[in-house]
C-alpha cells in the first residue's frame, strides 16, 4: 500500500505521572517493568521488545484521569500468573497507591484483570501473548 508515511516502527506510547520516584517504584517493584530515566522530566518503560512507553512528569493538577478503554497490556505466561498478580494487587494496593482493581475475567481462554495505578492510568494483566495476535494476523494473509 502506498501510504503517506513510511514507518519503520510503531515506537511508543505515553503516560503521565506526577511523582517520578513513586511511579518508578510501582513500575519496577510491582509491575516488573524495566525503566530508565534519560531526561529530568521523563522516564522510559519497556518489557520484551524495542517499543517503549514514555512517562512524562507533570504537575499533579495537570495529570488526567484515563478510562480503562485507554490502557496497556502486560503479558504473563500462565492463567495462574494472572490470579497471582490479582492477589498481589489486592495485598499491595495501599503500598503502591493502586486506585482501583477490577475482578479477574476470562473470555475465550484469555484470563485478565485491569487496575488503575497511582497516576490514574490503566494496566491490564493478561495471559494473552503475542501468539494470540500472530494467529489473528495470520488469518488475514
Site for another protein in 55-74 (CB under 8 A): 56, 58, 64-67, 69-74
Residues 28-57 that bind another protein (CB under 8 A): 28-34, 36-40, 42, 44-54, 56
Closest separation in Å from C-beta 106 to another protein: 16
Non-local CB neighbours of 133 within 8 Å, separated by 6+ positions: none
Residues 80-99 that bind another protein (CB under 8 A): 81, 85, 88-89, 92
Instruction: Classify strands 71-75 and 122-126 as parallel, antiparallel or unpaired.
Output: parallel
The total of other beta-carbon atoms located within 10 Å of residue 69's CB is 6
The C-alpha atoms of residue 20 and residue 99 are separated, in whole angstroms, by: 17
- 109 lies in the site for another protein, by CB under 8 A: no
Amino acid at each position: 500500500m502506498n501510504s503517506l508515511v513510511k514507518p519503520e516502527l510503531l515506537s511508543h506510547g505515553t503516560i503521565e505521572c506526577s511523582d517520578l520516584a513513586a511511579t518508578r517504584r510501582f513500575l519496577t517493584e510491582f509491575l516488573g517493568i524495566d525503566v530508565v530515566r534519560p531526561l529530568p522530566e521523563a522516564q522510559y518503560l519497556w518489557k520484551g521488545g524495542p517499543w517503549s512507553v514514555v512517562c512524562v512528569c507533570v504537575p499533579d493538577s495537570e495529570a488526567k484521569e484515563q478510562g480503562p478503554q485507554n490502557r496497556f497490556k502486560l503479558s504473563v505466561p500462565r492463567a495462574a500468573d494472572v490470579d497471582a498478580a490479582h492477589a498481589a494487587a489486592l495485598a499491595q494496593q495501599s503500598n503502591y497507591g493502586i486506585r482501583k482493581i477490577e475482578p479477574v475475567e476470562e473470555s475465550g481462554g484469555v484470563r485478565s484483570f485491569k487496575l488503575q495505578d497511582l497516576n490514574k492510568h490503566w494496566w491490564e494483566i493478561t495471559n494473552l501473548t503475542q501468539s494470540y495476535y500472530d494467529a489473528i494476523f495470520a488469518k488475514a494473509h
